Amino acid sequence: MSSPLAATTRIGTVALLRDPRALFFAVVFPFCFIGMFAFMRTLGVGEGDATIDPMVWGIPAVLVMAFASLVIYGTVQPLVTGRRQGTLRLLSTTPLSRSVFLAGLAPVRVAVGIGQSVLAVVLA
């Protein structure tokens, strides 16, 4: 028998992978902007030879957007959906504590966040 934390981590992983919209907006969509910044590689700004590199300014923005999307679409949306469908109410009748349930959602989200950071650094 697995621990409650391992079981809720599996449930959290399935919840993230089950909804294609949440998966797209949490993982893929922020990195579409890296492609946009790659096409805008150098822009003339102001007078003279002053230029900025969109990748230098864009990667931090992409990471902020990626983490915000992961929080909103990857964590909050499944909780709201579970509440609306009554799943969270049913979970409250089990011996599983709320803290263990929320801690079970964290490992996959942290792994996705680390993966997003590594991917952004590699692409930069």
Domain total of the chain: 1
Which domain range does residue 68 map to?
4-123
Q: List the one residue out of 122, 121, 124, 115 whose CA is nearest residue 27.
A: 115
Q: Taking 80 as the threshold, does the pLDDT of residue 124 lie above it?
A: no
Identify any residues that bridge with 43 across adjacent strands, giving them in sequence order.
52
Mean pLDDT of 67-96: 87
Residues 1-41: tens digit of each pLDDT: 578 888 888 888 888 888 888 888 888 888 888 888 877 77
| pTM of this structure | 0.74
Buried b (16+ CB within 10 A) or exposed e, 22-47: bbebbbeebeebbeebeeeeeeeeee
Mean pLDDT of 40-53: 62
Answer positive or negative: Cα dihedral of 102, 106, 109, 113.
positive
Contact 29/69 with Cβ under 8 angstroms?
Answer: yes
Q: Taking 70 as the threshold, does the pLDDT of residue 108 lie above it?
A: yes
Question: What's at 85, amino acid-wise?
Answer: Q
Mean pLDDT of 106-120: 87
